A and B are shown apart, each in its own frame.
Chain A
Amino acid sequence: SQKIEQNSEALNIQEGKTATLTCNYTNYSPAYLQWYRQDPGRGPVFLLLIRENEKEKRKERLKVTFDTTLKQSLFHITASQPADSATYLCALRGGSYIPTFGRGTSLIVHP
């Protein structure tokens, strides 16, 4: 069956460090992958999209990599800030245009 796996354990890091979150998937051949941010009690907010033929995408302090051989995407936040604390969701669009979400990983940035 198709699976999107994100680390269920919260990631705790110190302010200023780089946070790295992982998304692994099985039985998908996604044309692209998206990352969203979700704050408690709020809807997901789109951050970045990376296509299967792109190795890396950057936006300000965010960087996403996509390895279709490993079936993995890494999401990095450099110079992290307490305001970056949230849950980060990976989403894939497989055969349809509808994004399917992973469970998300909670990031906690300590001042």
Chain B
Amino acid sequence: EPEVTQTPSHQVTQMGQEVILRCVPISNHLYFYWYRQILGQKVEFLVSFYNNEISEKSEIFDDQFSVERPDGSNFTLKIRSTKLEDSAMYFCASSPGQGENTEAFFGQGTRLTVV
């Protein structure tokens, strides 16, 4: 069964460093998303991406964050200068469309720890 894959599963980085989280969405999907979940808290929307551009973003997704689809398969989230409060699970998701019946398929997540 097709699935969303994320790498790495766990990333430890020093505060102020740049990190890139990688995702391979399901191949025929058109919409891509990043969410984060701070330990013990809810899953929060960061950004959605369609047709090679950001379609929607939350207030969490500030200038420190960027997304890119560098080729036909990868979808990346970059955090330019990590802060301690960026420590969280980051989930990538994709969906074939964006209509009401469309479900989002989530990856297993990357646990980012900023020290």
B-binding residues in A (CB < 8 A) = 31-32, 34, 38, 41-46, 49, 51, 89, 93, 96-104
Q: Are B103 and A44 in contact (CB under 8 A)?
A: no
CB distance from A61 to the nearest CB of B (A): 19
Q: Are A45 and B106 in contact (CB under 8 A)?
A: yes
Q: Are B109 and A41 in contact (CB under 8 A)?
A: yes
Name 27 A/B residue pairs within 8 A (Cβ), A-sorted.
A32-B100, A34-B103, A38-B43, A41-B108, A41-B111, A42-B109, A43-B93, A43-B108, A43-B109, A44-B104, A44-B106, A49-B100, A51-B100, A89-B42, A89-B43, A93-B100, A96-B56, A97-B98, A97-B99, A97-B100, A99-B45, A99-B104, A100-B45, A101-B42, A101-B43, A101-B44, A103-B42
Q: Count how many pairs of residues, one from A and one from B, have CB atoms less than 8 Å apart in the complex.
A: 52
Contacts A41-B109, A97-B98, A98-B33 given; does A46 touch B45 at CB 8 Å: no
Sorted from nearest, which 9 A-B pairs have the closest CB atoms? A43-B106, A46-B103, A103-B42, A101-B43, A97-B98, A43-B91, A44-B106, A101-B42, A98-B45
Q: Which size class do B's interface residues fall under?
A: 20 to 34
Chain B CB count within 10 A is highest, among A34, A42, A44, A100, for A44
Rounded to whole angstroms, the CA-CA distance of A49 and B91 in the bound complex is 21
Say yes or no for B87: interface residue by CB 8 A criterion. Answer: no
Contacts A32-B100, A93-B100 given; does A44 touch B48 at CB 8 Å: no
